[in-house]
Chains A and B, each alone.
Chain A
Amino acid sequence: MKTLALLCFEFFKTGLFAVGGGMATLPFLYDMAARYPWFSARQLTDMIAISEATPGPIGVNMATYAGFTAAGVPGGILATLALVAPAIAIITCMARFLASCGANQNVEFAFYGLRPAVTGLIAAATFEVFKLTILRPDAFGQTGGLSRLFDWGALVLFAVVFVALMKTRLHPALFIALGAAAGVLFDL
């Protein structure tokens, strides 16, 4: 019961402060992973893959998955509803007053600070994923050898996928499948 209430509170907060779409919810989820025993950073990263490769908005998929992992089926449903609740309230108000952003100069000013900050937040979430994949902070800390910092096999796969992503317009789900195949083939 207490978990469900906390879960609702945390996802409501995420829905209220994650500006800029699904990816913007990730920093909040990694923050939850650090503070609660609900799910680990590793599980979250797996969830991102599932959410990208499954129909539906990524942010919603992540909320359902994270809520489910934390507290079963009720957790998944409640986390999703809590995530969209603030948006429903805000959009309904905006529609009523026919407000639009860009019209107000202060909104533009706020976004001047908000956009780079959200990029920084998502970069921090990406750094968490790096630590789980291509970087090996533990091995590096023990030996101090720079060559130990990287998981070289993973780094090669990362480089291949990243270059392909930048150069082609293929669907992300394809790259996730490619990652899975490479993981099995090369025993990552």
Chain B
Amino acid sequence: MDAHDAQPEGEQAPEETPRASLADLFVTFARIGLFTFGGGYAMLPMLQTEVVERRRWVGESELLNYYAVGQCTPGIISVNAATFVGYRLRGVVGGVVATLGVVFPSVVLITLIALFLERVVDHPIVQHAFAGVRVAVAALMLQAIVKLWKTGVRDVFGVFVFALGFAVAAFTELSPVIVVLSAIALGLIANHSGLVRHLKQSRDDERVRDQEKRP
């Protein structure tokens, strides 16, 4: 790991096809996985430092593009970004190696923690601690929903689909897969049938009315 750190920084000019060995890819992405908490957007600054500034493997805007695509394809966003960068540098094998690198620290650390927790989980203090931790998790998850609601639920249709997804997952045995597939279908139908245009229209009308009300 240190050998790579010793590379002179800032000397390599951005080339047409940046070079990276597979070992380089693995180690760099393992480091990114090791030093970011939370994943998703928390991983972006670390990727910028390691991949854009230090190694100059991809450009800033390219990385942001990968992130945007990673958000709208299945899977973990930061893992998707790793696959993209790896693929760009070393083809399919590069994509696989970068992804394995980014998940490697998780697999090792979590396995160690799980092994340790298995031994102490029956201790009363640990039980009480986790009872409190679960409450904190409940708050964290509600915060995540508030964030998602702000970007994802934009009109009556959104509220309807949200309620449907919640009800199916909370009160039936149906798989989330069915919810995901139906939601895609509903989104396509609503847009192609003109329902969305109708909703937008009524929202604009409302806005006009609001403006007229003002003195």
Contacts and interface: CB of A to CB of B under 8 A. Distances in A.
Interface stretch (B7-15, B20-28, B152-160, B201-209): B152-160
Interface in B151-192: 151-153, 157-170, 173, 175-177, 179-188, 190-192
A49 B167 CA distance: 25
B37 to A, nearest CB: 6
Contact of A27 (B72, B106, B176): B176
A20 to B, nearest CB: 7
A48 to B, nearest CB: 5
B134 A49 contact: yes
A6 interface: no
A56 B87 contact: no
A141 interface: no
B162 A56 contact: no
A188 B36 contact: no
A88 B139 contact: no
Contacts of A4: none
A102 B64 CA distance: 14
A120 B87 contact: no
Contacts of A49: 130, 133-134, 136-137
Interface in A21-61: 21-23, 25-28, 30-31, 34-35, 42, 45-46, 48-61
B68 A102 contact: yes
Chain A interface mostly: helix
Interface residues of B, number: 99
Contact of B39 (A22, A31, A183): A22
Nearest to A182: B132
Interface in B70-129: 70-80, 83-84, 87-88, 92, 95-96, 99, 102-103, 105-107, 109-111, 113-114, 117, 125, 128-129
B84 to A, nearest CB: 6
Contact of B107 (A22, A80, A117, A184): A80
B113 A54 contact: yes
B33 A114 contact: no
Contacts of A17: 74, 176-177, 180-181
A119 B149 contact: yes
Contacts of B192: 109
Interface in A134-188: 134, 154, 157-158, 161-162, 165-166, 171-173, 175-176, 178-184, 186-188
Interface in A112-135: 112-130, 132-134
In which size bucket is the chain A interface?
35 or more
B98 to A, nearest CB: 9
Interface string B24-64: 00000000011111111001000000000000000000000
A61 B69 contact: no
B190 A126 contact: no
Contacts of A129: 134, 137-138, 141
Interface of A: 13, 15-23, 25-28, 30-31, 34-35, 42, 45-46, 48-61, 64-65, 68-69, 73, 76-77, 80-81, 83-84, 86-88, 90-92, 94-95, 99-102, 106-130, 132-134, 154, 157-158, 161-162, 165-166, 171-173, 175-176, 178-184, 186-188
6 A-B pairs closest in CB distance: A183-B132, A113-B187, A120-B165, A87-B75, A57-B39, A179-B136
Interface of B: 33-40, 43, 65, 68-80, 83-84, 87-88, 92, 95-96, 99, 102-103, 105-107, 109-111, 113-114, 117, 125, 128-146, 148-149, 151-153, 157-170, 173, 175-177, 179-188, 190-192, 196
